[in-house]
Structure 1
Amino acid sequence: MLDELLSMPFVADARGGVKPHHVDLRTSQDFWDDETRDELFGPVLAEFVADRARLAQAITTRYGQPRRKDLRPYFDDGVPPDEPGRSLFAYLTGWFFEIDLWQIGDRGIVVEVGHWDKELPLQLMLVVGDLKS
């Protein structure tokens, strides 16, 4: 799947940037109520984190070590429009403050466990974005 995402062309997003390719490799249940959250959420999160670690290791073995990327400058849209990778990093701010980023040519690979909101599912995400625009 990763090879496909690395070779697929990108399309423009609504802001004139480039829309990243996003695949949820795994999702949890949709709703975490207050009664079961403490009991169920932790073990499920641990499973997702372990899956993410295995996938990250496979990507590292193939492409080398990732670099840590701080996404906080992209939250307020204060980054210049021509900043390389801006569309990818702005997209990811819905989930993360920091990411591990593998760079292959002008494409970036991100594998993280995301959780948009406490009532939404956990996501084991694979995202490939354009780093040149």
Structure 2
Amino acid sequence: MSTAQHLATLDLLRSRDFPAEPGRSPSGSGGPGFHIAELLTSDTFWDDDGTRREATEEQYEAERDALTVLLADRWGPPQKFSLASVFERTVAVDFGDTDEEIPEPWAHLSSCVPDLHLWQVDGRWIALGVAQWDRELPFQLLAVVTETDPP
């Protein structure tokens, strides 16, 4: 998918109503108050020494950064938002250590995206991040549109 297609997908998600129920969509997934688009997904094969994995991670971060430059021209510089503390809080909820409610899509994102480039535009949050669910799984460039404030 080209940069122009990424921007078109993001613009489409910004204009779309949010789904009433969580589920898959043609561009990724969504639920009440959010859309997550999978803009790019890497291959799942990794060399034993990890060199291909590292190069792929760098490529996906470069793709995110290039898209960030274009979006910064529209909306100004992004906030850089770490999801590390959100992940720790989500794990605490999962283990019953707290009854705090971590809203979606933030709980979901915190399990696979270390940090986001984040803007607030017209009452919605727009975010870009590089996801990887596990070392053996593919990288993904994700775009998020949500009306839910980051926790």
Which TM-score applies when normalising by structure 2? 0.70
Q: CA RMSD in A?
A: 2.6
Q: Does 1:58 align with 2:35?
A: no
The alignment partner of 1:87 has SS state of coil
Partners of 2:42 and 2:146 in 1: CA distance: 24
Letter in 2 for 1:67: Q
Cα offset, 1:13, TM superposition = 4.4
Counterpart contact for 2:36–2:143, Cα < 8 Å: yes
CA gap 1:119/1:59 in 2 versus in 1, 3 angstroms: same
List 4+ stretches of structure 1 deviating above 6 A: none
Q: Does 1:101 align with 2:109?
A: no
Which residues of structure 1 form unaligned runs of 5+? none
**Other-structure match for 1:127:** 144
Per-residue CA deviations over 1:84-111 (Å, capped at 9, x if unaligned) read xx32222211213432211112211111
Identity percentage of aligned residues: 30
**Other-structure match for 1:31:** 45
Per-residue CA deviations over 1:28-87 (Å, capped at 9, x if unaligned) read 112335x1x522112222211111110011111101122233432452345855x8xx32
Partners of 2:110 and 2:71 in 1: CA distance: 22
1:11 to 4, 7, 19: 19
Which residues of structure 2 form unaligned runs of 5+? 1-8, 23-30
